[in-house]
Amino acid sequence: MAIRPILIAGDPRLSAPAVAVTEFDSELAAFVDTLFETNTAARGAGLAANQIGDPRAVFVYDLMADGVRHRGYVVNPVLETSEIPETMPDPDDDIEGCLSVPGEWYPTGRADWAKVTGVDVEGNPVAVEGTGYLARCLQHETDHLIGHLYLDRLIGRNQRAARKMIKANGWTEPGRSWLPGQDVDPFHG
Protein backbone atom coordinates (compact mmCIF):
# COMPACT_ATOMS: atom_id res chain seq x y z
CA MET A 1 0.00 0.00 0.00
CA ALA A 2 1.08 3.53 -0.64
CA ILE A 3 -0.42 6.97 -0.76
CA ARG A 4 -0.75 8.02 -4.39
CA PRO A 5 -0.86 11.50 -5.95
CA ILE A 6 -4.37 12.78 -6.71
CA LEU A 7 -4.91 14.15 -10.21
CA ILE A 8 -6.19 17.71 -10.54
CA ALA A 9 -8.92 18.94 -12.90
CA GLY A 10 -7.62 19.33 -16.43
CA ASP A 11 -6.00 15.89 -16.58
CA PRO A 12 -7.70 13.83 -19.33
CA ARG A 13 -7.66 10.69 -17.16
CA LEU A 14 -10.38 12.35 -15.06
CA SER A 15 -12.69 12.65 -18.05
CA ALA A 16 -12.18 9.14 -19.42
CA PRO A 17 -14.90 6.61 -18.57
CA ALA A 18 -13.69 3.81 -16.29
CA VAL A 19 -13.04 0.27 -17.50
CA ALA A 20 -15.00 -2.55 -15.88
CA VAL A 21 -12.98 -4.73 -13.52
CA THR A 22 -12.71 -8.31 -14.77
CA GLU A 23 -9.90 -9.67 -12.59
CA PHE A 24 -10.74 -10.23 -8.94
CA ASP A 25 -7.50 -11.05 -7.19
CA SER A 26 -5.12 -9.99 -4.42
CA GLU A 27 -3.83 -7.11 -6.56
CA LEU A 28 -7.35 -5.64 -6.72
CA ALA A 29 -7.70 -6.01 -2.94
CA ALA A 30 -4.35 -4.23 -2.46
CA PHE A 31 -5.45 -1.49 -4.84
CA VAL A 32 -8.63 -0.91 -2.80
CA ASP A 33 -6.41 -0.61 0.29
CA THR A 34 -4.32 2.00 -1.57
CA LEU A 35 -7.49 3.95 -2.41
CA PHE A 36 -8.52 3.90 1.27
CA GLU A 37 -5.04 4.93 2.43
CA THR A 38 -4.88 7.80 -0.08
CA ASN A 39 -8.42 8.95 0.76
CA THR A 40 -7.63 8.89 4.50
CA ALA A 41 -4.41 10.87 4.02
CA ALA A 42 -6.37 13.42 1.96
CA ARG A 43 -9.16 13.52 4.56
CA GLY A 44 -11.65 12.83 1.78
CA ALA A 45 -15.17 11.46 1.86
CA GLY A 46 -14.46 9.27 -1.15
CA LEU A 47 -11.97 8.54 -3.91
CA ALA A 48 -12.40 6.99 -7.35
CA ALA A 49 -9.66 5.00 -9.08
CA ASN A 50 -9.27 7.45 -11.97
CA GLN A 51 -8.44 10.22 -9.48
CA ILE A 52 -5.12 8.46 -8.92
CA GLY A 53 -4.68 7.64 -12.60
CA ASP A 54 -6.08 4.10 -12.63
CA PRO A 55 -8.80 3.38 -15.21
CA ARG A 56 -10.63 0.66 -13.25
CA ALA A 57 -14.25 1.11 -12.16
CA VAL A 58 -13.83 1.17 -8.38
CA PHE A 59 -14.30 3.74 -5.65
CA VAL A 60 -14.04 3.95 -1.87
CA TYR A 61 -16.02 6.05 0.58
CA ASP A 62 -15.46 6.90 4.24
CA LEU A 63 -17.61 9.61 5.78
CA MET A 64 -19.76 10.64 8.72
CA ALA A 65 -23.43 11.32 8.03
CA ASP A 66 -25.98 11.95 10.76
CA GLY A 67 -23.57 10.69 13.40
CA VAL A 68 -22.93 7.38 11.61
CA ARG A 69 -19.69 6.36 9.90
CA HIS A 70 -20.17 4.93 6.42
CA ARG A 71 -17.10 3.16 5.04
CA GLY A 72 -16.82 0.81 2.10
CA TYR A 73 -16.04 0.38 -1.56
CA VAL A 74 -17.78 -0.71 -4.73
CA VAL A 75 -16.28 -2.34 -7.80
CA ASN A 76 -18.14 -1.87 -11.11
CA PRO A 77 -20.77 0.42 -9.55
CA VAL A 78 -24.20 1.07 -11.03
CA LEU A 79 -26.05 4.13 -9.69
CA GLU A 80 -29.77 4.60 -9.08
CA THR A 81 -31.18 7.87 -7.64
CA SER A 82 -34.31 9.72 -6.78
CA GLU A 83 -35.10 12.76 -8.92
CA ILE A 84 -32.24 15.23 -9.36
CA PRO A 85 -33.39 18.82 -8.76
CA GLU A 86 -33.10 21.19 -11.70
CA THR A 87 -33.31 24.36 -9.61
CA MET A 88 -30.36 26.41 -8.39
CA PRO A 89 -28.68 24.52 -5.51
CA ASP A 90 -28.72 26.04 -2.03
CA PRO A 91 -25.35 27.77 -1.40
CA ASP A 92 -25.33 26.53 2.21
CA ASP A 93 -26.90 23.08 2.11
CA ASP A 94 -25.72 21.82 -1.30
CA ILE A 95 -22.02 22.71 -1.10
CA GLU A 96 -19.65 20.16 -2.62
CA GLY A 97 -15.91 19.77 -2.99
CA CYS A 98 -13.58 17.29 -4.66
CA LEU A 99 -10.06 16.03 -4.04
CA SER A 100 -9.39 16.63 -7.76
CA VAL A 101 -10.55 20.24 -7.46
CA PRO A 102 -8.42 21.04 -4.40
CA GLY A 103 -9.51 23.82 -2.12
CA GLU A 104 -12.65 24.74 -4.08
CA TRP A 105 -16.32 24.34 -3.12
CA TYR A 106 -19.48 24.97 -5.17
CA PRO A 107 -23.21 24.42 -4.64
CA THR A 108 -24.13 21.31 -6.65
CA GLY A 109 -27.57 19.84 -7.26
CA ARG A 110 -27.84 16.18 -6.28
CA ALA A 111 -30.63 13.69 -5.67
CA ASP A 112 -31.48 13.23 -2.00
CA TRP A 113 -31.44 9.42 -2.26
CA ALA A 114 -28.95 7.17 -4.06
CA LYS A 115 -28.18 3.49 -4.28
CA VAL A 116 -25.09 1.91 -5.78
CA THR A 117 -24.85 -1.78 -6.61
CA GLY A 118 -21.73 -3.61 -7.73
CA VAL A 119 -19.34 -6.21 -6.41
CA ASP A 120 -16.53 -6.57 -3.90
CA VAL A 121 -12.91 -7.62 -4.57
CA GLU A 122 -14.01 -11.26 -4.76
CA GLY A 123 -16.85 -10.60 -7.20
CA ASN A 124 -19.61 -10.91 -4.58
CA PRO A 125 -22.61 -8.56 -4.90
CA VAL A 126 -22.65 -5.42 -2.75
CA ALA A 127 -25.12 -2.58 -2.41
CA VAL A 128 -25.04 0.68 -0.49
CA GLU A 129 -27.77 3.26 -0.30
CA GLY A 130 -28.42 6.41 1.62
CA THR A 131 -29.77 9.90 1.74
CA GLY A 132 -28.24 13.32 2.24
CA TYR A 133 -24.44 13.42 2.46
CA LEU A 134 -24.00 9.69 1.77
CA ALA A 135 -26.22 9.96 -1.32
CA ARG A 136 -24.19 12.98 -2.49
CA CYS A 137 -20.94 11.02 -2.08
CA LEU A 138 -22.24 7.97 -3.96
CA GLN A 139 -23.33 10.18 -6.87
CA HIS A 140 -20.06 12.12 -6.82
CA GLU A 141 -17.88 8.99 -6.94
CA THR A 142 -19.90 7.23 -9.64
CA ASP A 143 -19.74 10.47 -11.66
CA HIS A 144 -15.95 10.21 -11.54
CA LEU A 145 -16.13 6.75 -13.04
CA ILE A 146 -18.17 7.95 -16.02
CA GLY A 147 -15.62 10.71 -16.58
CA HIS A 148 -17.37 13.63 -14.89
CA LEU A 149 -16.18 16.01 -12.19
CA TYR A 150 -18.78 17.67 -10.01
CA LEU A 151 -17.91 20.88 -11.88
CA ASP A 152 -19.72 19.35 -14.88
CA ARG A 153 -22.96 19.40 -12.85
CA LEU A 154 -22.77 23.12 -11.97
CA ILE A 155 -25.31 25.56 -13.38
CA GLY A 156 -25.68 29.32 -13.77
CA ARG A 157 -23.35 31.59 -11.84
CA ASN A 158 -21.68 28.61 -10.15
CA GLN A 159 -20.71 27.19 -13.54
CA ARG A 160 -19.32 30.55 -14.64
CA ALA A 161 -17.36 30.95 -11.40
CA ALA A 162 -15.88 27.46 -11.77
CA ARG A 163 -14.74 28.15 -15.34
CA LYS A 164 -12.97 31.31 -14.16
CA MET A 165 -11.39 29.38 -11.26
CA ILE A 166 -10.06 26.68 -13.63
CA LYS A 167 -8.37 29.34 -15.78
CA ALA A 168 -7.06 31.29 -12.77
CA ASN A 169 -5.52 28.12 -11.27
CA GLY A 170 -4.00 27.08 -14.62
CA TRP A 171 -5.84 23.75 -14.53
CA THR A 172 -6.07 23.54 -18.29
CA GLU A 173 -3.13 21.19 -18.83
CA PRO A 174 -2.71 17.52 -17.91
CA GLY A 175 -0.26 16.19 -15.37
CA ARG A 176 -1.10 18.28 -12.30
CA SER A 177 -1.53 16.45 -9.01
CA TRP A 178 -1.07 16.79 -5.26
CA LEU A 179 0.20 14.23 -2.78
CA PRO A 180 -1.74 13.94 0.48
CA GLY A 181 0.50 13.98 3.53
CA GLN A 182 3.34 15.65 1.64
CA ASP A 183 1.87 18.67 -0.15
CA VAL A 184 -0.01 21.39 1.70
CA ASP A 185 -3.57 20.20 2.40
CA PRO A 186 -5.64 22.35 0.03
CA PHE A 187 -8.79 21.93 2.14
CA HIS A 188 -7.48 22.29 5.68
CA GLY A 189 -4.30 24.37 5.24
Q: Which segments of the chain does DSSP mark as H helices, in order?
A: 26-42, 132-145, 156-169
Which segments are annotated as binding site? 98, 140, 144
d(CA 57, CA 75): 6
**CB neighbourhood size of 182 (10 A):** 9
d(CA 164, CA 83): 29
Composition of the chain by helix, strand, coil, percent to 5: 30, 25, 45
Catalytic: which of 27, 129, 141, 173? 141
Phi-psi region of 172 (alpha: psi -120 to 50; beta: other; left: phi over 0): alpha
141 is catalytic: yes
Q: Detail the residues annotated as belonging to a binding site for Fe cation.
A: 98, 140, 144
Residues annotated as catalytic are: 141
